[in-house]
Structure 1
Amino acid sequence: MVENLRLGHHTATQAEGMLGDLVDVYLDAHADDGPRYTAERYEQQLAAHMPRQGWELVAAWIGGELVGYIYGFPLGTDTRWWEGIEGPVPDRFTEENGRRTFGVAELLVRRAWQRQGIARALHDELLSNRQEERATLLVRPDNTAAQHAYDSWGWQLAGRLRPARQGTPLFEVHVKAIQRSFPTNANEYLPQSLVESSSRHVRKSRCTRHVHLLAVAVSLETVDLNDGGTVAHPEFGDGLQAHERPTPP
């Protein structure tokens, strides 16, 4: 872990004075990812997300510099997060009450500070203080490096989701238990066909885990929940632009 790293929790009100720095970190982390990652687009995303009840950000500071952050929010009763989920899902899996599920939207670290354990520290700090039963995020099925990292961080495959907007890709839904009231074995919530598919994936990934796990866990410094594209997901209006780009081992 990098020395002199300071982590701090911020509500939406507290983070309003940090907006310029939040955008700067976003642009730095996405500097090589094409023209879609603009300040204007991200400002619109923050404006849509920050008013959500329970929104929380954990920031990483070294000296006086903001080097990274993670944020998300609880899924309310009127959430559209689960729209587009494919195949049969267990009863109540998509039911939300504002206290059940925390959606992770962004995990970003400046390029100069990547691969130093900051992303993992942010991830753990945020989720260890949440009171929801579980957390969720989306990841592209072909993002194998992220799959290894999420496996090592305790996330489990829970389904597949294709946002309703035309031309959007298929994503895997991952969940992670936060409180004991949510079963640590997510298979209790999954259709049998998906359990079997997930088991095959885990068995295959474990064959290479001893070679790849350390490198991936350390290098996952910007979590690209859409593998470099924009998720046209109704929950996020114009699109979720979280970034998860582990360095291949």
Structure 2
Amino acid sequence: MAINDVSLTHHASDEAAALLDELCDAYADAYGVEPGEEKTAAFRRRAEKQFTRPGFALVTARDGGWLVGFVFGYTLPAGDTHWWDGVQPEPMAEFLEETGSRTWVLSEIEVRRAWQAKGVGRALHEAALGARSEERATLATGPDAAAQPVYESWGWRRVGWIPGDEGDYYSAYDLFVLELPVSR
């Protein structure tokens, strides 16, 4: 299970739908839940919506053909994005402006438990963000997410928090931003 045994592949949105069952299985493993549980079903619903968003991109990591991790996201549209709604502390208006090519949302980055802490997540992160032409990337995490220190070590900076929507896992999410391109 060395990182050099893992191959990374970029996929467009039309390929992502064909990989959805594998993505759900890897997602469930990353969280230590059964593939049929509600957490995985919620992931499936989110993923299906995101596959059709502008700027969608998926990078998969495979070891011997086995999907061991993935990252995907999409570009925020111009104008009202909902992404920044209610962000606190309230940033300057320029920060919130979206052009349709300014910000890429890193929506999911997941690695199966047996491959965690082996560099797979970092390789996926760099492969996905290194291919982006946007000015910046953003992500949201739960306030107690164990991954927050990892994101910060990769150069992400916390810019505030946003309230969660009805039915979300958390009542609030921490927001992070990373300037692009990613320096290696």
Report the TM-score range of the alignment, normalised by the length of the smaller protein.
Answer: 0.7 to 0.9
Q: Structure 1 residues 15 and 91 mapped into 2: Cα distance closer, same or farther (>3 Å)? A: same
The residue aligned with 2:174 is: 172
The residue aligned with 1:76 is: 77
The residue aligned with 2:93 is: 91
Q: Structure 1 residues 141 and 54 mapped into 2: Cα distance closer, same or farther (>3 Å)? A: same
The residue aligned with 2:10 is: 9
| Percent identity over paired residues | 37
**Hey, what's the Cα distance between the residues in 1 that align with 2:120 and 2:105?**
20
Alpha-carbon distance, 1:140 to partner: 3.2
The residue aligned with 1:131 is: 133
Gaps in structure 1 of 5+ consecutive residues: 185-249
| 1:151-177 Cα distance to aligned partner (Å, 9 max, x none) | 210111212211353884222211000
**TM-score w.r.t. length of structure 2:** 0.86
The answer on whether the counterparts of 1:75 and 1:98 sit within 8 Å (CA) in structure 2 is yes
**TM-score w.r.t. length of structure 1:** 0.65
The residue aligned with 1:49 is: 50
Q: Structure 1 residues 170 and 33 mapped into 2: Cα distance closer, same or farther (>3 Å)? A: farther
Alpha-carbon distance, 1:11 to partner: 0.5
Matches within 5 A, 1:1-249: 1-32=2-33, 35-38=37-40, 40-77=41-78, 78-143=80-145, 145-165=146-166, 168-179=170-181
Q: Structure 1 residues 91 and 64 mapped into 2: Cα distance closer, same or farther (>3 Å)? A: same
SS at match of 1:92: helix
Larger Rg computed on CA atoms: 1
Q: Say what the alpha-carbon RMSD is for the aligned residues.
A: 2.4
Q: How many residues align?
A: 179
SS at match of 1:53: coil
Gaps in structure 2 of 5+ consecutive residues: none
SS at match of 2:93: coil
Task: Supply the AA of the counterpart residue of 1:3.
Answer: N
Alpha-carbon distance, 1:148 to partner: 2.3
SS at match of 2:94: coil
Task: Supply the AA of the counterpart residue of 2:46.
Answer: Q
